Amino acid sequence: MAGYRVRAETSEPGGRTRGEVILGILFLVLVVSADVLLGRMLYESMTDVDAIQVRKLQVEGHLHYLSEKMVADYFLSNYDNLNLLTMDLSRVRHYLLKMPWARTVTVRKRLPDILYVYLTEYRPAAYFNKGILTGDWKVIHPDLSEFREPLVHLYGREELAEKIFYRYLSFSEFLRERTNAEIWSVELTPDFMWEIRLTSGLVLFLGRDLDTFASGREEREGDRESEDALLPRLRTFAELNSRIPGLMDKAEYVDLRYETGAAVKWREETREDEEKK
């Protein structure tokens, strides 16, 4: 009787054959490879600039000096990453804050392709040198080619901008009450001399005010003392103006840097008219 040879297959622990183990490993490699491939495809899709690009900038806020078009042009024309999914909103916010009028900026993503921006603007208080002094006492430098607001012109060191502005308010109130004069500009020169130009063109040289700024004093009480030192000089001008008809229209400047009295320089046309009489 013929016998049958039985070949025994080797088994791994747990009862699985070697073939099953190899198939399992191949399947695992296939699944991992597919995951890696899909992940790479998804990453490339997300980081493709044209895949999920910002198509619209929705700008809101109480805007006077900026417009939605200005903000959109500034951002869409210059920002280096317009992919909405990978865009860093904190970086976008800081970028938009570089616009001179932008005071605060809030940014949100609105899928599929909108970037929402809410802006608040600085409010101008005065012209300052070649820029604008804001109500936050910050000097900004926007394009002023079409800016026409009737603000006073202030000149001096930027770190003293707030003090110069408040001194302007004091000068303005004093002159308006006593002479009906309006101030065009106030300057604190590099050697801390005060100069006022009226809208008539007349310049008032007031001189120093106890060297408050030169000494670097910050006390409010000291500021009031130095301010009072200038008021007698303005009072001298007010008295001259009441005694000399047409002073503000006929004089070039009034130098008030004297303990008593003042020096007046008349305009050239005024002197010529007087000589003809």
Q: How would DSSP label each residue in 261-276?
A: --EEEE-HHHHHHHHH
pLDDT at 260: 85
pLDDT at residue 49 above 50? no
pLDDT at 224: 45
198 touches 234 (CB < 8 A):
no
pLDDT at 225: 41
The residue among 83, 64, 82, 75 whose CA lies nearest residue 117 is 75
**Across 126-146, average pLDDT:** 95
pLDDT at 143: 92
Q: Are strands 124-128 and 153-155 parallel, antiparallel or unpaired?
A: parallel
pLDDT in tens, 201-247: 999 999 987 655 444 444 444 444 455 678 899 999 999 999 999 99
Q: Are strands 56-60 and 114-121 parallel, antiparallel or unpaired?
A: parallel
Lowest mean pLDDT across 13-22, 121-130, 138-147, 217-226: 217-226
pLDDT at residue 84 above 90? no
- Residue reference for tokens 């001298």: 236
Greatest distance between any 2 Cα atoms in the chain: 160
DSSP summary character for residue 158:
G
Helix (H) or strand (E) holding 44: helix 18-47
pLDDT at 221: 43
In angstroms, rounded to a whole number, what is the distance separating the alpha carbons of residues 192 and 98?
A: 32
162 touches 220 (CB < 8 A):
no
pLDDT at 118: 96
pLDDT in tens, 21-45: 677 777 677 777 666 666 555 555 5
pLDDT at 220: 44
pLDDT at residue 149 above 70? yes
In angstroms, rounded to a whole number, what is the distance separating the alpha carbons of residues 276 and 15?
A: 129
CA atoms within 13 A on the CB side of 226: 24
The residue among 102, 209, 122 whose CA lies nearest residue 163 is 209
Collapsing DSSP states into helix, strand and coil, what is residue 98? coil
pLDDT at residue 16 above 80? no
- Residue reference for tokens 């009441």: 242
Tokens of 20: 């099953």
pLDDT in tens, 150-189: 999 999 999 999 999 999 999 999 999 999 999 999 999 9
Adjacent-strand bridge partners of 196: 186, 204
Q: Are strands 131-134 and 124-128 parallel, antiparallel or unpaired?
A: antiparallel
Q: At what angle do helices 68-78 and 89-96 cross, to 10 degrees?
A: 120
pLDDT at 15: 59
DSSP summary character for residue 3:
P
Adjacent-strand bridge partners of 106: 118
Adjacent-strand bridge partners of 114: 56, 110
pLDDT at 261: 87
What percent of the chain is helix, strand and coil (3-state, nearest 5)? 40, 25, 40
Most confident of 77-91, 105-119, 207-221: 105-119
